[in-house]
């Protein structure tokens, strides 16, 4: 049971972004980190996988079924793509936006929320530890709380695949750890496929079950964090040297450095 991308081609106008991109099967219950330089096509890959962009060629398959066979609504039910936070200042509460995410799963024009819907929202709010903020406007929340509320929007839809675009950027160190731990928890408990685009290689090494290195529209290397990050593909992709070390606590630390010739 897994998510697999094969031979994906996508271009914006004449500029190729994804060039025959394929991944190994990403199993359910595992957290994958997608790393790669700015502009390497991470967001484009996510948007193609979520069906928000139509690739010229290639398939995205969930548990062996080609997702392009589904209607956009069904696909949005299976795959949730959480774009980078734009910081929209809107007078809506945490409860409002999570309920909104739940309501937009169904067709139909019913204005009121069903008890099932509010129960699901309540459960997710509890799961994410947002109970104290549930009635606060999202405009008044800190970056970390906003990010958790957005993850709540994803989880309340009970997707099979969760694609998160830099969920930890702009968060302080404690919130980065909180958010990543929450994501890993939810991935295991719900047995879903989660892919997180992330810039911090140490954070990726620490929380991800596998790491995918993306470069120029392709997956350059993939596998267990310790192996992948030690691979020369990482140095080549970022044009840096990479030093790996286990801390006294046993955490894998990644130290990139600029090589002087």
Partner 1 sequence: MAATLPMPATATGDYRRRNARRLKLVLAGIVALAVALALDVSIGPGNLPLGDVLRTLVDPQSATPRLSVIVWDLRLPIALMAMAVGAMLGLSGAGMQTILANPLADPFTLGVSAAATVGASVAIVFGWSVIPGAGPFIVTVNAFVFALAASLVLFFMTKLRGVSAETMILVGIALLFTCNAITALLQYRSNEVQLTQIVFWTLGSLARASWEKVGVAALLIALALPFFLMRGWALTALRLGDERAESLGVRVDRLRLEILIATSLLAAVSVSFVGGIGFIGLVGPHIARLLVGEDQRFFLPTATIASAVLLSLASTVSKVITPGVIYPIGIITALIGVPFFISLVMSIRRRGV
**Residue 170 engages partner 1 in binding (rule: CB under 8 A):** no
Q: Contact with partner 1 (CB under 8 A): which of 59, 68, 118, 169?
A: 118
In angstroms, give the least distance from the CB of 31 to partner 1: 19
Q: Hey, which residues does 252 pair with through a beta bridge?
A: 246
- How far apart are the C-alpha atoms of 129 and 133, rounded to whole Å? 9
| Full 3-state SS string of 10-21 | EEECCEEEEEEE
Angle between helices 143-155 and 115-127 (to 10 degrees): 140
Residue 80: half-sphere exposure toward Cβ, Cα within 13 Å: 21
Q: How many residues bind partner 1 (CB under 8 A)?
A: 39
**Residue 139 engages partner 1 in binding (rule: CB under 8 A):** yes
Closer by beta carbon to partner 1, 103 or else 188: 103
**Residue 81 engages partner 1 in binding (rule: CB under 8 A):** yes
**Residue 209 engages partner 1 in binding (rule: CB under 8 A):** no
Q: Contact with partner 1 (CB under 8 A): which of 57, 65, 119, 189?
A: 119
- How far apart are the C-alpha atoms of 139 and 133, rounded to whole Å? 12
DSSP, collapsed to helix, strand or coil, labels residue 188 as: helix
**Residue 69 engages partner 1 in binding (rule: CB under 8 A):** no
- How far apart are the C-alpha atoms of 17 and 123, rounded to whole Å? 39
- The answer to whether the CB of 150 falls within 8 A of the CB of 158 is no
The beta strand positions in 64-189, using DSSP E, are 65-66, 79-82, 161-165
In angstroms, give the least distance from the CB of 194 to partner 1: 15
- The answer to whether the CB of 20 falls within 8 A of the CB of 13 is no
**Residue 251 engages partner 1 in binding (rule: CB under 8 A):** no
Residue whose structure tokens are 């190729």: 16
In angstroms, give the least distance from the CB of 37 to partner 1: 22
**Residue 194 engages partner 1 in binding (rule: CB under 8 A):** no
Instruction: Enumerate residues 6+ apart whose C-beta is below 8 A from 116.
Output: none
* Interface pattern 14-53 for partner 1 (x via CB under 8 A): ------------------------------------x-x-
* Interface pattern 97-116 for partner 1 (x via CB under 8 A): x-xxx-xxx---x-x-----
Closer by beta carbon to partner 1, 64 or else 115: 115
**Residue 145 engages partner 1 in binding (rule: CB under 8 A):** no
What does the binding site for partner 1 look like in residue numbers (CB under 8 A)?
A: 50, 52, 72-73, 76-77, 80-83, 86, 88, 90-93, 95-97, 99-101, 103-105, 109, 111, 118-119, 121-122, 125, 131, 134-135, 137, 139, 150, 153
């Amino acid at each position: 049971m897994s998510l697999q991308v094969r031979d994906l081609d996508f271009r914006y106008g004449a500029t190729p972004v994804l060039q025959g991109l394929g991944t190994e099967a990403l199993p359910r219950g595992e957290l994958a980190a997608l790393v790669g330089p700015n502009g390497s096509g991470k967001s484009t890959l996510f948007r193609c996988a979520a069906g928000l962009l139509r690739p010229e060629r290639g398939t995205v398959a969930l548990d062996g079924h080609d997702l392009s066979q589904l209607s956009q609504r069904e696909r949005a039910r299976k795959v949730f793509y959480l774009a980078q936070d734009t910081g929209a200042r809107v007078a809506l509460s945490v409860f409002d936006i999570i309920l909104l995410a739940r309501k937009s799963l169904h067709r139909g024009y019913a204005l009121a929320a069903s008890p099932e819907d509010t129960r699901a929202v309540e459960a997710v709010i509890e799961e994410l530890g947002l109970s104290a903020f549930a009635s606060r406007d999202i405009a008044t929340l800190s970056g970390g709380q906003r990010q958790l509320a957005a993850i709540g929007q994803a989880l309340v839809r009970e997707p099979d695949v969760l694609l998160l675009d830099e969920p930890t950027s702009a968060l302080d160190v404690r919130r980065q750890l909180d958010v990543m731990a929450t994501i890993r928890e939810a991935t295991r408990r719900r047995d879903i496929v989660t892919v997180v685009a992330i810039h911090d290689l140490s954070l990726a090494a620490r929380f991800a079950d596998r790491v995918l290195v993306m470069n120029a529209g392709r997956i350059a290397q993939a596998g267990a964090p310790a192996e992948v990050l030690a691979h020369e593909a990482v140095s080549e992709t970022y044009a840096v040297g990479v030093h790996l070390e286990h801390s006294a606590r046993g955490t894998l630390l990644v130290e990139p450095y600029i090589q002087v010739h």
